[in-house]
Structure 1
Amino acid sequence: MATAQNGLEVIRFGGLTHDVESSPFEVVERRRMYRLRHYFPDEVADGRPVALLVPPLMVNADIWDVGAEDGAVGILNRGGVDCWVVDFGSPATEEGGWQRDLADHILAISSAIDTVTEATGSDVHLMGYSQGGMFAYQTTAYRYGKGVESIVTFGSPVDIVNGMPFGLPYGMVSEAADFVADHVLNRLPITDSMVRIGFQLLDPVKTAKSRIDFLRQLHDREALLPKERQRRFLNSEGWVGYAGPAAADLLKQFVAHNRMMSGGFVIRDHPVSLAELRCPILAFVGEVDDIGQPGAVRGIVRAAPHADVYEATLLAGHFGLVAGSTASNRTWPLVRQWIDWLDREHTLPPEITPMSEYVAPNTPRSAAARAIHTAGSLVEAGTGLGKALENLASGAMKGSVELVGEAARALPRLTRLGTIQPHTRISLGRLLAEQANRAPNRDLFLFDDRVHTNEAVNARIDNVVRGLISAGVRPANRVGVIMETRPSALATVAAVSRLGAVAVLLAPGSELKRALAVTGVRTVVSDPENLRQAAATGARVLVLGGGADRELDIPAGGDVTDLEQVDPAAVPLPGWYTPDPGLARELAFVLVIGTGDRLETKYITNHRWALSAFGTATSADLDRRDTVYCLAPLHHSSGLLVSLGGAIAGGSRIALARSLDPHRFGEEVHRYGVTVVTYTWTMMRDILDAEVFPKGHRHPIRLFIGSGMPAGLWRRTVEQFEPARVLEFYASIEGEVVLANVSGVKHGCKGRPVPGTARVELVAYDPIAEEVLVDDSGYARRCADNEVGLLIGKAADSVDLSTGGLRGVFARGDSWMPTENLFRRDSDGDYWLMDRRDTVIQGKRGPVYSQPIVDVLNDIGAVDMEVAYGLPDGGHCLAVAAVSVREGHRLEPKDVTEALRALDPDQRPDIVHVVPEIPRSATFRPSTRAVRETMPPAPGPDTWYYDRQSESYEVLTEAEAGRLPG
């Protein structure tokens, strides 16, 4: 009879009538996104610590008061804590609820913090359960810690990679999350019932057992009543719907891209990183929590390197951390003691310890504890995700799936690269348009703490195209671009490409008038900063950037048009206009490099640009999870071909740096979530010397890509940024030869040809006579292993060999394009740069190659930078190396002697001398010319000559100075 009576009550009313009442509260603020509850408002006294509690989106705000007196707010209130709770309500009943996104919730919590701090005059202890804890981290970082005294989280994952269900490979989950976010959640809201059923299906056995247990005790009303409110909360009343946009943001930013760890998650176009957190953090870890898994929760210690992070580990599941007997007896008393420690200088309890990133698993105990805990908390927890299948996914499976993922990303790129023919339409503008059509809301690039989407960038490009058309620019015209690194520079280069014209990229401060004359440019697009220099050339100047309301400093008599004043909607598109008409064989860009008599122009076709773009994306395995930080300006080949090209071809975000500022670099790497950094030459030297990232400092960078990094600087970089690697490229700008050191093991090596690029050969070459050496048949002789030769690449059918190509090299009628560099190939098939053809030192004992000298000297710990060059001495040259010394170090002759033993005696420099500094070019390349012309070696204690008898370097005295010319 008791069973029947109680059962009828459950059927009619959804549960048993109980006398457990909710804790008293008043709603002190009502906003579109939330209601702010203040619990026990009549008991407030000045000076009490303040806690603001945040629920996860799929659980209503009553989670903090499930057990009334034994709930969070009740226990904390008795401990002298003033409790406030954010209530988001249900999206099913709130106005515009189903359109809420992640940023709406972050901004709502931020607003609530302002309200509470203003009302109480105190900073808050911000607490969050599950995703509520993720919100607490994100909001505090977004506010740079303002108004938050500490953060307390309960089962809140940070490193999603370390918390995959069933041990599934992250790559597989990431792909699925991205697809669901883009194609499902934008159409399908997650209702209250879907949330409830979904959580119950996560562990159907536990759900079924808890219901059977309830039915078996249905006759014993007194045994059921204490937990009845909790049971009803879990079975029906506690679940709320999840707005599709918010769920999509969660999947894209924190599951697919894991940006809680790497940084760079976006709140209203503003990039945010947990590295901004500096307040104390306490994270509760459930040993048997299968939703907020311990490895994922402990990710906060790496994601917030500037914060003091503590943990409290409990034998509890996900729900048991905040509700139930474990929470009442352990969790909330520990939270109260945490607050007492911070606010009242009490002793920190032993259960709260500094968080350790790595905790050795205790498998036997863990398995037993899981079984016992599961059996004992069927009614109390009611939710969870069993890990019984986790062991099915071994490390080998993870690795193999990840490798398959890499292959799946590489194959379409290589396939597309292989199908490009001279008449194929391919260009920078076209790839950007494809991305905008495929994923309009995906982030494309970041600059000055702003994030720009594919759609926004594409619209800006189209507007600039209309501005160029209004100024009379037509396809195939050469348009000069002289701009500092800024969004308008990217938009201009892409707009010129979309129009089918040719962008001539010019460096600010360069010999602009001469460059325009050499390239035949009559129209220049400039930013306001370079307007006067551009106008001084007499060319027509189109000004872009800085906004429409700025004032321009227009020189008198200049032919200047402000494109920001042009209304794109008022510009009709002419009949000849076709977006992105560029063919692979057509000229896309002209780079102007060098100065004076070394001024050079490099011509890049659309095919050559695509070759570098897809080659970089493939070699670096770039994908949408990456953020590529471009240190090089866009007018440099590294910025245009590697950074911009690789990021676009890989679908990655690109972050543009205004200039090389080590401290800004340190901030933006975290804030943008930078995973890949591009460099040129010695750029990394400035960052390493500034020690913005001391050795061991946690960072999100996985790879550095670029060209020209000396071997010693390479070693310093990987040591300081462990476990990041260096991917060194070599590319002939006008040819199609691209080498890449993908493994990164051999420091200073250029690697092997990138798949899809030109076939390469190394032919014997006389650098003195400047001739390719032939065999008895008259064809070029291929080099043996470790023999120095000229690197050549197979020429495409469309290449004009009259510009310096070779024909009949290995067979009648074959065609090849020589590079300007000499290499050797080791026995493993890897290529090592030896020298440029025109800088080989003509020594008395034969040619001396400068690059090995530079690499060996750079690997000396005391050496900062170095150059090697020839100093005329009669009919030959002395091989001279100049070095600068790192601050706080001293270089001795014995150091040089020992290092140069790695070279054959005939390849060692005749003289090594120390100079105060080595000037660098705008691209951070050490200037050999400046050293040779202004810092000649002179007798003294810091100049050493090579004594061939002793095979050591000795101080150059006046007596030995006769060896120097003059």
Structure 2
Amino acid sequence: MNEYNLAELLEGSAARYPDRTAIVFGGRRLSYAQVDMAACQIANLLVARGVRPGDKVALSMPNLPYFTMAYYGILKAGATVVPLNVLLKAREVAYHLRDSDARAYVAFEGTPELPIGNTARTAAEGTEVDLYVVDPSLQLPWAGEPPAFDTVATDEDDTAVILYTSGTTGVPKGAELRHRNMRDNALIDEMLFDTSEERPDTYLCVLPLFHSYGQTVFQNAALAFGGTIVMLPRFEPRAALRLMAEERVTIFGGVPTMYWALLAALDESVDVAALAGDLRVALAGGSALPGEVHREFQERFGVTILEGYGLSETSPVASFSVFGQAPRVGSIGVPVPGVEMKLVNDDWSDVKSDTDAIGEIAIKGHNVMKGYYKRPEATAEVLRDGWFRTGDLARRDADGFYWIVDRAKDMIIRGGFNVYPREIEELFMEHPAVSLIAVIGVPHESHGEEIKAVIVTKAGATATEGELVAWGKERLAAYKYPRIVEFADVLPLTSTGKILKRELG
């Protein structure tokens, strides 16, 4: 047995830097000792109420200190954390509780606009799940519990976290991630962008902590290296810029739509030079970053956005830009240390070695999940000999850098030709009137699918459908340009900021 519990990330830093600020939220500063003590109290509460090693404990919490406290408290108890999207409805939460075999459930009370507590109560009705609702205006559920706890010994191959996939295809599935999966993926930050305990970074956490990106790269990595997490429960660009200035943020990470929103929010009231002076690292992932956004951010902030790639099933980071090298705009970089990547065909055979050949990304390494919880058949479809196939199409250049072409499921087949929406989206982002775009396929009688672009225009800009169709026709092959253009004030987004294409049909 190789003993290791992911809770050691917090415990180690709390032992070394008890008085260092771990979390900043709402003007309050919590030290490492305070966060660890609260996690111990939560562990004591759970164990006293019957939670045993290996039990599953669900967690519904926005970006608040309570998320981190509960997350590590559950781990200390030897249990498995099941983070849930806070936007789920009661029926969806109930599904996750049943599917994960949750023994207990910790949920934030929420607000009138987002009544997480009421949703949790409804979802837990008729189940044997012990529900703990956290309401800051009342006594916290763990108040009065002992502030010390002997962390339960677990094996590094035990399941630490079950992360549910978004369910864009079929019902959501729980990816089982080991303690070592999550540990190793957090610790590679030291090699990816030179973070260290000697020079602790300040991370602005706008990515949801219930999602793998925010959880690993901003919570677990920050705490592992004695950094400070500045939490923002809901991304709002002006609030993010204000916190970047006030807290002198050195690391920012987001999805492409967040970078787009930050740039749009810049005006004469924002001291961009001061922000740029503090900002050391900017990270992007979750979906393709438009080249125009990348270039404008670098011009304004003087920082190259480092693009990476990963999935819930890979803890999540699988590839990353090379820190210190000139940017390759649009590339997701190279495999991170300890991880292999390759391109495969539908039958799992390797794609020919010629550069720029397109195939599905497959990943092998310390980051790959055990499998989908209680779903051996679904696991067998995506895992073979340690390789996980992602569903994402890419090409690899002569230097070994990977370039996402598109999601296999997003690819449009028009008249027998494969069309990759990202290529069209990248081109249209160069149009002076286009602020944001999503390209999808819609049914067509003769061609099978037709190409449709849904566009948000820049403030004050005007363009007609005919003008944009003609513009695309001049620049794209006849089978690629959008024949249908629709305008929208906003595009639907997931809770993690990805464009929700399935709602645009």
Q: TM-score range by the shorter chain?
A: 0.7 to 0.9
Equivalent position to 1:653, from 213, 228, 231: 228
What is the Cα deviation at residue 807 of structure 1? Answer: 8.4
Letter of the structure 2 residue corresponding to residue 787 of structure 1: A
Distance 1:673 1:605, change over 3 A: same
> 1:795, 1:817 within 8 Å by CA — same for their partners in 2?
no
Measure, in 2, the Cα distance between the counterparts of 1:798 and 1:686: 33
Q: Letter of the 2:336 partner, please give it.
A: V
CA distance in 2, matches of 1:827, 1:912: 36
Task: State the one-letter code of the partner of 2:453.
Answer: A
1:730 aligns with 2:309: yes
2:120 aligns to what? 534
- The whole-number CA distance in structure 1 between the counterparts of 2:386 and 2:146 is 49
Counterparts of 1:115-130 in structure 2, within 5 Å, are none
Counterpart among 167, 188, 191 of residue 615 in structure 1? 188
> Hey, what's the Cα distance between the residues in 1 that align with 2:147 and 2:245?
42
Any idea what SS the aligned residue of 1:459 has? helix
SS at match of 1:772: coil
CA contact (8 A) 2:451 2:483 kept: yes
User: 1:247-286, aligned counterparts within 5 Å?
Assistant: none
Q: Is the CA contact 1:695–1:719 (under 8 Å) kept in the aligned structure 2? A: no
* Structure 2 equivalent of residue 266 of structure 1: none
Q: Give the C-alpha shift of residue 659 in structure 1.
A: 1.4
Q: For residue 421 of structure 2, what is the aligned residue in structure 1?
A: 850
Cα separation, 1, equivalents of 2:23 and 2:222 = 10
2:10 maps to which residue? 432
* AA aligned opposite 2:86: P
Q: Contact (CA 8 Å) 1:730, 1:739: kept in 2 or not?
A: yes
Partner of 2:113: none
Q: Say which SS state the counterpart of residue 495 (structure 2) adopts.
A: coil
Q: Counterpart of 2:452?
A: 880
Q: Counterpart of 1:698? A: 274
Distance 2:221 2:474 in 1: 39
Deviation at 1:522, TM superposition (A): 4.1
Q: Equivalents in 2 of 1:424, 1:716: separation in Å? A: 47
Residues 447 and 657 in structure 1, CA contact (< 8 A), matched pair in contact too? yes
Matched, 1:788 2:358: yes
Match of 2:7, SS? helix
> In 1, are the aligned partners of 2:314 and 2:369 still within 8 Å (CA)?
no
1:773 Cα deviation after fit = 7.0
Structure 2: runs of 5 or more not aligned = 111-115
- Which of 217, 223, 230 is matched with 1:642 structurally? 217
Q: In 1, are the aligned partners of 2:320 and 2:335 still within 8 Å (CA)?
A: yes
In 1, the alpha carbon distance for the partners of 2:264 and 2:500 equals: 20
Write the deviation string for residues 694-748 of structure 1: whole angstroms up to 9, x where unpaired.
Answer: 585421222221312333322332223x212211110132247611123462222
Structure with more of its chain in strand, by fraction: 2
Contact 1:626 1:652 (C-alpha < 8 Å) held by counterparts: yes
CA distance in 2, matches of 1:532, 1:480: 15
1:863 and 2:438 aligned: no
Match of 2:380 in 1: 804
Instruction: Tell me: CA distance 1:427–1:444, structure 2 relative to 1, closer, same or farther (3 Å).
Output: same
Q: Which moved more, 1:658-667 or 1:484-493?
A: 658-667
Name the aligned partner's letter for residue 202 of structure 2: T
2:145 — aligned with what?
A: 568
- Of residues 922-931 and 889-898 in structure 1, the stretch that sits farther from structure 2 once superposed is 889-898
Cα distance between partner residues in 2 of 1:888 and 1:489: 41
> Which of 229, 246, 255 is the aligned partner of 1:680?
255
Partner of 1:473, secondary structure, is coil
The whole-number CA distance in structure 2 between the counterparts of 1:584 and 1:897 is: 57
1:922 to 491, 495, 503: 495
Partner of 1:591: 163
Over residues 189-208 of structure 1, what are the superposed CA-to-partner deviations in whole Å (9 max), with x where a residue is unaligned? xxxxxxxxxxxxxxxxxxxx
Determine whether 1:890 maps to 2:450.
Answer: no
Distance 1:862 1:641 in 2: 37
Amino acid at match of 1:626: D
**1:746 corresponding residue in structure 2:** 328
**Residue 581 (structure 1) aligns with:** 153
CA contact (8 A) 2:258 2:497 kept: yes
Matched, 1:714 2:290: no
Checking the alignment, whether the CA contact within 8 Å between 2:13 and 2:225 is kept in structure 1 is no
Compute the displacement of 1:585 (Å).
1.7
| AA in 2 matched with 1:438 | R
Partner of 1:514: 95
Tell me, in whole angstroms, the C-alpha distance in 2 between the residues paired with 1:898 and 1:872. 23
Q: How does 1:832-843 map to 2 (within 5 A)?
A: 832-843=403-414
Partner of 2:239: 664
Are the structure 2 counterparts of residues 650 and 852 from structure 1 closer, same or farther at C-alpha, using a change threshold of 3 Å? farther
Q: Report the Cα offset of residue 465 of structure 1.
A: 0.8
CA distance in 2, matches of 1:534, 1:542: 8
For the 8 Å contact 1:629–1:674, the answer to whether it is kept is yes
Deviations 1:594-640 (A, max 9, x none): 36865423422222212321223421222333101110121112211
**CA deviation string 1:832-859 (max 9, x = no partner):** 1112222221221322112222222234
Secondary structure at 1:786 match in 2: coil
Question: Could you tell me how far apart the structure 2 residues matched to 1:446 and 1:618 are?
Answer: 25
- Check 1:903–1:506 CA distance in 2 against 1; reply closer, same or farther (3 A cut): same
SS in 2 for 1:716: helix
Query: What is residue 337 of structure 2 aligned with on the other side?
Result: 755
**Deviation of 1:427 (Å):** 4.0
| TM-score normalised over the length of structure 1 | 0.46
2: CA distance, partners of 1:586 / 1:704: 33
Structure 1 Cα separation of the partners of residues 359 and 299 of structure 2: 33
Question: Residues 921 and 927 of structure 1 are in contact (CA less than 8 Å); yes or no, is this contact kept in structure 2?
Answer: yes
Distance change in 2, residues 1:791/1:524 (3 Å):
same
Q: Which amino acid aligns with 2:290?
A: P
Q: Alignment partner of 2:146: what SS? A: helix
Partner of 2:43: 465
Q: 2:65 aligns with which of 487, 505, 509?
A: 487
Could you tell me whether the CA contact under 8 Å between 1:634 and 1:640 is conserved in 2? yes
Give the Cα–Cα distance (whole angstroms) in 1 for the partners of residues 230 and 271 of structure 2: 24
Quote the residue 1:525 is aligned against: 106
- Greater helix fraction, Structure 1 or Structure 2: 1
Whole-Å separation in 1 of the counterparts to 2:265 and 2:56: 41
Q: CA deviation at 1:799?
A: 4.9
Q: CA deviation at 1:691?
A: 1.8
Letter of the 2:191 partner, please give it: T
- Gap change, CA 1:882 and 1:614, over 3 Å in 2: same
**Secondary structure, aligned partner of 2:203:** strand
> Deviations for 1:757-790, whole angstroms, at most 9, x for unmatched residues?
x211123x3xxxxx2375xxxxx34342111111
Structure 1 unmatched ranges of 5 or more: 1-422, 552-561, 766-770, 775-779, 809-813, 933-966
Q: CA RMSD in A?
A: 2.9
Cα 1:710/1:513, change in 2 over 3 Å? farther
Question: Are the counterparts in 2 of residues 792 and 817 from structure 1 also a CA contact under 8 Å?
Answer: yes
**Contact 1:844 1:877 (C-alpha < 8 Å) held by counterparts:** yes
Q: Secondary structure of 2:313's match?
A: coil
Please say if 1:478 is aligned against 2:49: no
3-state DSSP of counterpart to 2:117: helix
Amino acid in the other structure paired with 1:918: L
Work out the CA distance in 1 between the residues paired with 2:35 and 2:133: 15
471 and 806 in structure 1: CA distance in 2 versus 1, 3 angstrom threshold: closer
Partner of 1:682, secondary structure, is: helix
TM-score (norm 2): 0.85
SS at match of 2:312: coil
Q: CA deviation at 1:889?
A: 2.0
Whole-angstrom distance in 2 between the partners of 1:570 and 1:668? 31
What is the identity, as a one-letter code, of the residue corresponding to 1:619? L
**What secondary structure sits across from 2:449 in the alignment?**
strand
Name the CA shift for 1:486/1:794 in 2 (closer, same or farther; >3 Å). Answer: closer
Cα deviations by residue, 1:569-602 (Å, 9 ceiling, x for unpaired) = 399x7xxxx5152333221112234368654234
Q: Give how far 1:903 is off.
A: 5.6
AA aligned to 1:527 is: F
Q: Which amino acid aligns with 1:915?
A: A
* Structure 1: distance between partners of 2:296 and 2:146: 53
